[in-house]
Structure 1
């Protein structure tokens, strides 16, 4: 998928189901009527992903005050999410997007990566701010964790 074909600002967020708590299916459209932050991260229990998830959890009251729900998404199975949530007392819900044709694929952020000379498929750390009608209002691609949550919160408050 080329960069030009990726959904971006002004486009509707693809409405692909993911696995939430207790195996329940959740979709971006479940949050219509409120703003939604979907932060996609590579893997539970890793340093950057832990920092990002903990910081989004700490800012949950501020996001709620801005009328914004926050959901973290990775390809990890939900059972691993449950351990991650418990270990770090996360306040934001997590969703599992394990299928090959899932939301991350529709957004073009499940892609080929290279590390230490090896090529593999992986999640590109990306955050989407979705408006109350389901349109993508803002996209942060290849996110650097430091300061990211504050930037997303400011955008949600301004939307």
Structure 2
């Protein structure tokens, strides 16, 4: 089963659209491309998503961005779908799931005994003008998703124009492997679920604990600084070769400042250390459960999704 990662070349595809015209990803080199995968034409969620992207088509056009929807439906189904709802974006047919699989959107939905039931997971991929994957949204929720894509696109275009320096708020999340980011996300969802229905006192205690949680920047800075201090002392007392380590640490700090990523950060993320944004998202969600705000979604995933989009 295929998968893609941020920073890799997006897999090429050539598929027919609703008008039976062949469209290839390479046709759009020089433009940003939003590729969104959806399960089925003319269903409530997929219709809502297609209409939302259609409504925002001009805004994406001003951002030099094309929108491509891909599903297993045949070309004829796409044509009926766009005509019925006035959809004005390109929909591509992948009946054999070839490219849906290559982009990691074909997932195990449930298992019955030893048999695995597969299906399309609603997801979106953002590709830059050079054909490089810049952002991935797995398990997409339709509400608010188009705005999320526009917001990320705007930020990443600034980053792209500046030669690849990411915004501070994105620096720890974007470079990490999708699996690691998703595991940390699911941990946060479970945390919120466990505290749903707890008393205000218990919620307040948990929020106070989150206030004390160290984020990735603090863990990274503390550990690299400690290495610098210890190696400097050893350089004076044991061997001058220990003075090489502060230079290596300096390179890591420079890489982190310029790219928002460094090797130590990858190790820290694998340990489950969260970014400041991720910690703040859980705090806000728990404050909502405590009654600090109104209109509380019932599902923790929806609650967290709204907070992350804020």
What is the total number of aligned residue pairs between the two structures?
155
- Residue 18 of structure 1, CA deviation: 1.4
CA distance in 2, matches of 1:21, 1:150: 25
1:11 aligns with 2:8: yes
Counterpart check, 1:107 vs 2:121:
no
Task: Flag the structure with larger Rg.
Answer: 2
Unaligned runs of 5+ in 2: 158-310
Q: Distance in 2 between matches of 1:21 and 1:41?
A: 15
Deviates more, 1:5-14 or 1:142-151: 5-14
More relative contact order in 1 or in 2 (CA 8 Å, sep 6+)? 1
Tell me how far apart the structure 1 counterparts of residues 83 and 116 of structure 2 sit (CA, whole Å). 32
- 1: CA distance between counterparts of 2:18 and 2:101? 21
Matches within 5 A, 1:1-159: 1=1, 6-100=3-97, 102-114=98-110, 120-158=117-155, 159=157
Residues in 2 aligned to 1:115 and 1:143: alpha-carbon distance in whole angstroms: 21
For residues 126 and 95 of structure 1, what CA distance do their matches in structure 2 show? 15
Runs of 4+ in 1 over 6 A off after TM superposition: 115-118
Instruction: Give RMSD over aligned pairs.
Output: 1.9
User: CA separation in 2, counterparts of 1:157 and 1:111?
Assistant: 29
Do the aligned residues in 2 keep the contact of 1:17 with 1:103 (CA within 8 Å)?
no
Unaligned runs of 5+ residues in structure 1 are none
What secondary structure sits across from 1:38 in the alignment? strand
> Normalising to structure 2: TM-score of the pair?
0.47
Aligned partner of residue 84 in structure 2, secondary structure: helix
